[in-house]
Structure 1
Amino acid sequence: MKDLFGKAILDYQLGNYTEDIKTETSISEEDDLPLPYLFRAYDEMPAIEKKAMDLSKGRVLDVGCGAGSHSLYLQNEKHLEVMAIDVSEGAVKASELRGLKNVRLQDVMKLEGEQFDTILLLMNGAGMCGRLNRISTFLNKLKNLLKKDGQILMDSSDIVYMFDQDGDGGYWIPTDMDYYGEVDYYVRYKGEEEPPIDWLYIDYNTLQNAAQANGFNCELVQEGKHYDYLAKLTIA
């Protein structure tokens, strides 16, 4: 991987901001992801993210921390113990430069020997699972990292709205798709492109069913303005 996300985040942190990240999926056209948005303060966060910040407690694991905005708020404003992890070397470096005390270059699926009161997976954190058939493995790994009375706070979106509807209100889902929320995700930055990665947008009912099948209670905490939602998972 070229770590284009990390390069872009580090460019912004170092004052070399000249253009935004471009993203595209197998079912959507190219779109700009403004770099300043990744450096947002609490007041600039969507309501779902603010709610996740408000609910965070105890020892926190921020999975896929990016530029570290959520972790910095929890560390500096709520004075919580936070471990932030990301697979992007550039993102980790930028987060360190911003003052994050405990940030690691780490794949959550390979993290061992730690337990947390709160695990955060924000900015469609459920997407890291990649494909729906991996959700049980993903959730069970998170369970192993969670204290008995801990919580997982994750957000995602139901992207069924992106498909055409018929006259009865049903959606036309291509028959070659295992699940309509599975997409190939492309990132471009400064003339370079990453190989596509597997990404998952999971609707709440599907997440709830998967959570319950893997020993979790699942609660719909808040719905956003554009088919997005925040869910809380606790060990049943």
Structure 2
Amino acid sequence: MSDPFGRAIRDFHRGEQDEPLRQFDGDESLDHPIEDFYFGEVDPEDERTRWLESRLSGRFLDLGAGAGRDSLYFQDRLETVSLEVSEHLVGTMRERGVDDARLGDMFALPEQFERGRFGSVLAYGTQLALVRSMRGLREFLGDLARVTTDDATAILDNYDPEYEGARELLGYRHDPTPGLGFRVMHFEYEGDVGDTLLFRLFSSDRLRDACVGTGWTLDGVSRGAVGNECHYMAVLEKE
């Protein structure tokens, strides 16, 4: 299976990356910022870190953990499981010292974990948008409810198409439905072309609607800095 994304991040970690990892939508492209996104140190005094620490507790599941940036920090504070769909990224996390890095699909949680396994969940990196549809989002939230405790917290992020900045993202596609949008792109590295990725962008209000009947309720939203308000982190709590 082609995995230019995971391979480029692994090569960066090993000091072997000689070409950029690029994102493409037709003729448009840009370099993906690997170092900034995946290898910056977690600062315990940073506002984001303090905010996450105030929300995360119990057994912790890091979904789409990438190179293990957040897992490395939180595993010293919480029992942590780090899940990634890329073998290259799982190997990278293990090389970097992540204690429990597992190969798995975040959209097939009940097949991988027992009921009520985790007290808190983080899915950071907008990979949640790969649910592809609002029905897929509701199914994911239902599965997430199954593998978490009755008092669990989940922190998820996405881009909000109701903010102008989202429409400037590479691969953005308009949806006439309020609060919804799409993003289509693929990654390339050293001539290796990845699969076309379809992201479903949804506003926090649409996420609140999707929670109905899944066991979750939207407890709060934290938006990005000025100029990046389209990116948000949502806190879900069990009803």
TM range, normalised to the smaller chain? 0.7 to 0.9
* Cα pair 1:56 1:118 within 8 Å, conserved: yes
The answer to whether the Cα contact below 8 Å between 1:132 and 1:182 also exists between their aligned partners in 2 is no
In the alignment, the residues of structure 2 paired with residue 196 and residue 54 of structure 1 have an alpha-carbon distance, to the nearest angstrom, of: 37
Is contact 1:48–1:222 with CA below 8 Å preserved after alignment?
no
Q: Which moved more, 1:42-51 or 1:184-193?
A: 42-51
Structure 1 residues 101, 23: closer, same or farther in 2, change over 3 A? same
1:57 equivalent in alignment to 2:57: yes
1:129 aligns with 2:131: yes
Q: How does 1:1-236 map to 2 (within 5 A)?
A: 1-25=1-25, 29-37=28-36, 38-43=38-43, 48=48, 51-76=51-76, 79-108=77-106, 109=108, 110-113=111-114, 115-160=117-162, 161=164, 162-163=166-167, 173=174, 180-225=180-225, 226=228, 227-236=230-239
How far apart, CA to CA, are the structure 2 residues paired with 1:206 and 1:137? Answer: 14
Distance 1:200 1:46 in 2: 30
Letter in 1 for 2:123: L
Structure 2 unaligned residues grouped into runs of 5+: none
Shift of 1:179: 7.5
Between 1:45-54 and 1:87-96, the stretch displaced more is 45-54
1:45–1:135: structure 2 CA closer, same or farther, 3 Å change rule? farther
Query: Aligned with 2:18: secondary structure?
Result: coil
Q: Which moved more, 1:128-137 or 1:188-197?
A: 128-137
1:198 deviates by 2.2
Tell me the percent identity.
25
CA distance in 2, matches of 1:156, 1:210: 14
- Equivalent pairs counted in the alignment come to 225
- More displaced, 192-201 or 125-134? 125-134
* Cα RMSD, aligned residues only: 2.7
Give, as a single letter, the amino acid of the residue that structure 2 aligns with 1:228: H
Give the TM-score normalised by the residue count of structure 2.
0.83
- Whichever residue aligns with residue 65 of structure 1, its letter is A
Task: Give the secondary-structure state (helix, strand or coil) at the position aligned to 2:202.
Answer: coil
After TM superposition, give the deviation of residue 47 of structure 1 in Å.
Answer: 5.2
- In structure 1, list runs of 5 or more residues that go unmatched: 165-171
- Tell me the secondary structure at the aligned position of residue 201 of structure 1: strand
Amino acid at match of 1:122: Y
- State the shift of 1:25 in Å: 4.7
Q: Distance in 2 between matches of 1:116 and 1:25?
A: 37
Secondary structure of 1:200's aligned partner: strand
Question: Which amino acid is the alignment partner of residue 111 of structure 1?
Answer: Q
Contact 1:92 1:104 in 2 (8 A): yes
Superposed displacement of residue 178, structure 1: 10
1:52–1:23 CA distance, 2 compared to 1 (3 A) = farther
Q: 1:49 to 1:134 in 2, by over 3 A?
A: farther
